[in-house]
Amino acid sequence: MFERYIRPMWAFVFRDWHLTRRYMSWVVVFVFYAIVNSATIALIGKAQDDFRLTLTLLLGVLLWSFLSAMYNEIANSISYERWEGTLEYTFMAPVSRLIHLSGVSLFAVIFSVIRTIVILVGLVLFIQVSVNGANLLGVLVVLLVASLAFMGLGLMAAILPVMSPENGAQATNIFQGILLLVSGIYYPVSVLPSWVQPLAYLSPATYALEACRKLMGINHPDSTSDKLVGAPLSSVLPELGILLLMGVVLIPLGLWVFHTAEMWAKRTGKLKRTG
């Protein structure tokens, strides 16, 4: 069990950690940029002297930062391997795709949680916003449950570089952009064109945001800029249920789609570095 499953899964965490370590200066630059970028968005609320708007933007930017970092780690894992030329070696290792992608996803979750905490601390220090009274533990639970659904989406997006060595990596960004647009990260979904709004219900980020806004107490009438009235976790059970269901459907679906793409790539010779 340990030799066949756990150790091979850990191999991907080991690899990604050492790659992150070797690229640490870039990681620091990107986190710094993420803090600055997040601050510029959250300061729009400060300028309006509206703590609800500030917190809505802050939550949106943090949640999107977490989910997109995780999605990117998974979706781009195949692109990285193509650039390095290691894809064939990974694919000929005696490791099931479930173990392979679970290892990649495990590192992605750990990395994204740490990155988000660093950004949160940076933001709170910089824009002096109070989260006193918010159910932050509940927010963390929602993020972890939502990450299951985003893993599934990441797995599906990861096939794009398998199918098209030339354009696949770029296409994963289009997919991510659509999610950002339809999920109402910084605005209510109701301001989207009516024909786009149904897509919001298909995005896990929509439900994660809804739940987190309640847990933070952003729209609670008794919340003030000094003391928020965060809801208990039990009040977001419907959103958690939907997120869990999405994860349960999207992860096996993602694995199946990935397996199908891999079989196709093995028939057409697309696993080769140059395609």
Q: Which residue has the tokens 């943090």?
A: 62
Per-residue interface string for the shown chain with other proteins, residues 5-44, x marking contact by CB under 8 A = --xx-xx--xx--xx--xx---------------------
Q: Judged by CB, which is closer to other proteins: 227, or 272?
A: 272
Task: Give the E-state strand segments of 26-136 in sequence order.
Answer: none
**Positions in 82-111 near other proteins (CB under 8 A):** 84-86, 88-96
CA distance 97 to 73: 16
Alpha helices by DSSP H, 128-167: 136-163
* 29 alpha-carbon distance from chain centroid: 19
Cβ proximity of 55 and 135 under 8 Å: no
The yes or no reply on residue 227 touching other proteins (CB under 8 A) is: no
CB of 85 to other proteins, least distance (A): 4
CB of 74 to other proteins, least distance (A): 18
Cβ proximity of 43 and 55 under 8 Å: no
Binds other proteins (CB under 8 A): choice among 128, 193, 194, 267: 267
Which residues have a Cβ under 8 Å from the Cβ of 168 and sit 6 or more positions away?
78, 79, 159, 160, 161, 162
CB of 5 to other proteins, least distance (A): 9
CB of 31 to other proteins, least distance (A): 19
CB of 268 to other proteins, least distance (A): 7
Q: Judged by CB, which is closer to other proteins: 104, or 208?
A: 104
CB of 162 to other proteins, least distance (A): 12
CA distance 89 to 102: 18
* 59 alpha-carbon distance from chain centroid: 14
DSSP 104-115: HHHHHHHHHHHH
Please choose, out of 35-43, 64-72, 79-87, 228-236, the segment that lies near other proteins by the rule CB under 8 A: 79-87
Task: List interacting residues with other proteins (CB under 8 A).
Answer: 3-4, 7-8, 10-11, 14-15, 18-19, 22-23, 84-86, 88-96, 263, 266-269, 271-273
